[in-house]
Structures are given as structure tokens and as C-alpha cells.
């Protein structure tokens, strides 16, 4: 059953990337798709060899909008042969041992104010608002009825993360330094 659900989420993700509609107004489906995006981001980003502790830590800052969807999406999945684990955190300092930090819209200001805590650390940061992209690496957003994403390549470079060219090609926008943009 869980494999079927993950397959359905993967199909929804593939459809979103190929241009098929996703009913964004339905929050459950939106966060199923976003969970699949996070799983795929983990597959298409390279971390420095020193940042490979067991298990892969996928963290959510503040109130978790996924509910159980994130745990369900990564159940039985592996990253470089290692298990994946989701956990909620309340402070950016707790993200130092995370591989991926998801920042819901409600936690954006907290993240921006504390982002120096993660300066140059290999933590892939993913958020939901345009403001997040000033300090974070990937912004997930709804465009019409599709989940899309933009990438701040400069922030990823600073953290020594290598974003795959395949992922870069799918991005709606790639910026190299959001802080200097008007």
C-alpha cells in the first residue's frame, strides 16, 4: 500500500514537472507533491563527503505542514544506501546536523533572522516564499495549479552543495546572488 502511495506521489511529481495540472488548492495533494520534490532534491544534490552521517536528516522548521506525508514519502527510501529520517525542529541551530531543511512560509522570518547559524554549512535549504530565497537555496511555489521551484545557486555554492544540471534545467529561475538583486 505504501509503495502504491509513493508511486502515486511520484507520478504526481512527474506530471507537475511535465506540465500536467496539480490541484494546488487541495493542501493534502500539494504537500504530497512537495514531499516528493524534497525526496528528489535529495537525489539530485551532492553533499561534501564529510557531510554524510547516517541517517539522512530531512528537517522541518517550525510547524510541520506535511503532517505524516513526509514520513510516508521517505519510508523505505535510501540516500546513498543510507536510511532517511524526517524530524521537526524549532530553532535554526538545530539544523546543523540536517542534510535538508524545509522552511514553511510561517517560519520564513525566523529562518532569515537566524540564517547565519547555517552559514557555509552543507544544509540544503528549501522554503516556500520569495523572501526565503534571499538566504535559502530552493523556493517551492505554486504557479497556477502547478508546484514549481527556483534556485539560488550562489547560496548552494556557498554551502558547498552541488546541484545537478538535471535539477537546474527544471528550475523556473536560477539566481546566483539574491541579496544583491533589487
Q: Rounded CA gap, 70 and 58, in Å?
A: 9
- pLDDT per 10-residue tile (average), the chain, 182 residues: 43 44 56 95 89 82 94 92 93 93 97 92 96 95 94 95 96 76 40
pLDDT value at residue 13: 47
What span, in angstroms and rounded, lies between the C-alpha atoms of 52 and 107?
A: 26
Distance CA 50, CA 27 (A): 37
Q: What is the rounded distance in angstroms from the CA atom of residue 155 to the CA atom of residue 119? A: 9
**How many angstroms separate the CA atoms of 94 and 100, rounded?**
12
Contact between residue 52 and residue 81 where contact means Cβ atoms under 8 Å apart = no
Q: Tell if the pTM clears 0.95, that is, is over it.
A: no
| Contact call for residues 55 and 84 (beta carbons, < 8 A) | yes
Q: The domain that contains 162 carries what CATH number?
A: 3.40.50
**Range(s) of the domain holding residue 159:** 2-180
DSSP-derived secondary structure letter, 45? E
Domains of the chain: total = 1
User: Would you mind telling me the total number of residues written for the chain in this entry?
Assistant: 182
Q: How far is CA 173 from CA 17, 40, 129, 152, in A?
A: 14, 18, 14, 8
Number of other residues whose CB lies within 10 A of the CB of residue 145: 14
pLDDT, position 177: 65
Angle at 143 between CA 139 and CA 149, to 5 degrees: 25
Q: Which helix (H) or strand (E) holds 78?
A: strand 78-79
Q: Quick one: pLDDT at residue 51? A: 60
pLDDT of residue 169: 96
Cβ–Cβ < 8 Å for 112, 132: yes
At residue 143, the pLDDT reads: 93
- 77, 86 in Cβ contact below 8 A? no
Please report the pLDDT score of residue 60 as a whole number: 98
Amino acid at each position: 500500500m505504501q509503495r502504491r502511495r509513493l508511486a502515486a506521489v511520484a507520478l504526481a511529481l512527474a506530471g507537475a514537472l511535465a506540465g500536467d495540472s496539480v490541484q494546488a488548492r487541495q493542501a493534502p495533494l500539494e504537500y504530497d507533491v512537495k514531499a516528493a520534490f524534497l525526496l528528489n532534491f535529495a537525489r539530485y544534490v551532492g553533499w561534501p563527503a564529510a557531510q554524510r552521517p547516517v541517517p539522512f536528516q530531512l528537517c522541518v522548521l517550525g510547524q510541520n505542514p506535511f503532517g505524516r506525508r513526509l514520513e510516508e514519502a521517505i519510508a523505505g527510501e535510501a540516500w546513498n544506501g543510507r536510511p532517511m529520517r524526517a524530524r521537526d525542529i524549532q530553532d535554526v541551530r538545530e539544523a546543523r546536523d540536517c542534510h535538508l531543511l524545509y522552511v514553511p512560509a510561517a517560519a520564513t522570518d525566523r529562518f532569515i533572522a537566524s540564517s547565519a547559524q547555517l552559514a557555509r554549512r552543507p544544509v540544503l535549504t528549501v522554503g516556500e516564499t520569495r523572501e526565503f530565497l534571499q538566504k535559502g537555496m530552493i523556493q517551492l511555489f505554486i504557479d497556477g495549479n502547478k508546484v514549481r521551484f527556483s534556485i539560488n545557486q550562489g547560496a548552494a555554492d556557498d554551502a558547498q552543495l552541488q546541484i545537478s544540471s538535471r535539477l537546474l534545467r527544471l528550475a523556473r529561475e536560477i539566481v546566483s546572488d539574491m541579496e544583491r538583486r533589487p
